[in-house]
Amino acid sequence: MIEVKDIHKSFGDAHILKGITTSFEKGKTNLIIGQSGSGKTVFLKCLLGLFEYEEGSISYEGKNFSNLTRDEKTNLRAEMGMVFQGSALFDSMTIAENVMFPLRMFTKQSKSEMEDRVNEVLQRVNLENAHNKMPSEASGGMQKRVAIARAIVNRPKYLFCDEPNSGLDPRTAIVIDNLIQEITDEFNITTVINTHDMNSVMEIGEKIVFLKDGLLEWEGSSETIFRTENEAVTNFVYSSELFRKVRKMYLEEND
Amino acid sequence: MKTPITYLENIGTYFIMIKDIFRRPTKWSVMKPLILKDIDDLIIGSLGIVAFISFFVGGVVAIQTSLNMTSPIMPKYLVGFATRQSIILEFAPTFISIIMAGKVGSFITSSIGTMRVTEQIDALEVMGINGINYLVFPKFIALTLYPFVISIAMFLGILGGLIACVYGGYGTMEDYIEGVQLDFEPFHFIYAFIKTFVFAFLLATIPSYYGYFMKGGALEVGKASTTSFVWTSVMIILVNFLLTSLLLG
């Protein structure tokens, strides 16, 4: 479980996060949503420890990240997997080498053990025949799946995804969403996803955190988001006619 | 706009980066192939251009020296002597380092900068890897072989002078070789290699700094490469002046 208390983050005079308090539960897909510029990516990077914040605390299983020693932080980070918006695959390595990288860095496994594990996770993301391809030879959807494989190869406790569906066609986006949901359930990990994708919100959002202007405006789930009267949330989530209709149908069916 | 505080901040960040190169080292099994790859990219990959430039600049130095020795009382062996001194003291260590700041420095800045833009460095940091050690240390180790490149530049520069001198009709082989051997001072080699080691350190660290700490997108990678070349060259020239004053002055 990740607990966030009163996080403040500024860049110069720009106060980006203005005191966010929330928690992300184990075994759930937690979504952070909000308009561009609402502070989602900064918040995610604070969770990952890539940005230092001025006030507040972020605790992993009760341990305050800021109070950890350098070695403890390194050990904690070895338990994190991250899927970046642009996949961030190492372009000088093959797909298999990319996936094997965390194992080479953090484990003492033999080469054959590592290869077995890489085969296993590549199979898990339906890329069993892509071992020797370079990232530049893979499509956007394949790169995202490789990034997911790399993120889960070392059996992380926490999985973070920054806009995992951006730039993907709707069909591939659904495949990626389902994959993340399945992995979260299968390995009982804490998953935090930063997204703009309303399909993801409705399909896999077990907990949804809505940010507006650096503040936590609303939190709920994919079910309560249909019923919320919060104007900022409804203006954002139901900005398209399609989603307004989906909401109407949901409410008609469930009331 | 850059203020003096910005420059001081950059200098401070640069020195912190140097400390971080040696902190939390990456596993040797991962580091070894990175070092070998950087030796290939930075050292072996530079030999061709260094050999070409050294050979022909050595030839030009010999021809220019010969053409400017108009007095009949000046001995012909001075062509070999002047070429040797120019090549060993300045051309090979300093001039080649400026060329390497363009070739190797731009490569380092753009490759690390592209990793920054595409979030590959963030990916390393999220995994708990010391990105500076992982990326800069192999380049630093690879460039400890830089004196080998400079030795080749020295040899080919003097050889180029010999061939230009003899085959261009500016003097005999015996005169040239006599000049090359004249008043040989072993400390000049030590001086040249001290400079080379210091320049190698600058070549590994300044471009890495500009790549690692760059912000922005693809356009900024290009700008960072240019800035890195300018500052590496400026530092090589300044350090060259300082070392020459200290060691030969």
- % of chain B exceeding 70 in pLDDT: 99
Nearest residue to B193 (alpha-carbon basis) of B96, B93, B101: B93
CATH number of A2-222: 3.40.50.300
* B26, B27, B127 ranked by CB distance to A77: nearest: B127
Q: Residue A74's closest chain B neighbor by CA?
A: B128
Which stretches of chain B sit within 8 Å of chain A by CB? 24, 26-27, 29-30, 37, 118-120, 122-123, 125-129
What is the reported pLDDT for B83?
A: 95
What backbone phi and psi angles, to 5 degrees, belong to B23?
A: -90, 150
- Those residues with Cβ within 8 angstroms of residue A89's Cβ, 6 or more apart along the chain or in another chain: A95, A98, A135, A143, A146, A147, A150, B120
What is the reported pLDDT for B115?
A: 94
What does the alpha-carbon distance between residue A228 and residue A237 come to, in Å, rounded to a whole number? Answer: 11
Tell me whether strands A190-194 and A29-34 are parallel, antiparallel or unpaired: parallel
* Cβ pair A106:B127 closer than 8 A: yes
Cβ-Cβ contacts under 8 Å between A and B: the total is 53
Over residues A135-184, the pLDDT tens digits come to 999 988 889 889 989 998 988 899 999 988 887 788 888 888 888 888 89
- Structural domain includes residue B8: no
* Cβ pair B30:A105 closer than 8 A: yes
- Structural domain includes residue B20: no
What does the alpha-carbon distance between residue B179 and residue B3 come to, in Å, rounded to a whole number? Answer: 52
- % of chain A exceeding 90 in pLDDT: 36
Over residues A179-199, the pLDDT tens digits come to 888 889 888 999 999 988 888
* B26, B120, B126 ranked by CB distance to A48: nearest: B126
Q: Could you tell me if A104 lies within 8 Å of chain B, comparing CB atoms? A: yes
* Cβ pair A70:B24 closer than 8 A: yes
Over residues B122-155, the pLDDT tens digits come to 999 888 888 999 999 999 999 999 999 999 999 9
> Model confidence at B36, in pLDDT bands (50, 70, 90)?
very high
Q: Could you tell me if A88 lies within 8 Å of chain B, comparing CB atoms? A: yes
Report, as an integer, the average pLDDT of B170-181: 93
Please list every residue in chain B whose beta carbon sits closer than 8 Å to the beta carbon of residue A76: 128
Query: Min CA distance, A244 vs chain B (Å)?
Result: 36
State the total domains in chain B.
1
On average, the pLDDT of chain B sits at 93
- A21 half-sphere exposure, CB direction, 13 A CA radius: 5
* A50, A75, A92 ranked by CB distance to B126: nearest: A50
Q: Could you tell me if A50 lies within 8 Å of chain B, comparing CB atoms? A: yes
* Cβ pair B27:A104 closer than 8 A: yes
Quote ipTM for the complex: 0.82
- Structural domain includes residue B14: no
Report, as an integer, the average pLDDT of A119-127: 88
- Structural domain includes residue B117: yes
- Structural domain includes residue B6: no
Identity of the residue numbered A242: L
Q: Could you tell me if A109 lies within 8 Å of chain B, comparing CB atoms? A: no
Query: Min CA distance, A224 vs chain B (Å)?
Result: 33
Show the domain range for B64. Answer: 27-247
> Model confidence at B1, in pLDDT bands (50, 70, 90)?
low
Report, as an integer, the average pLDDT of A238-247: 81
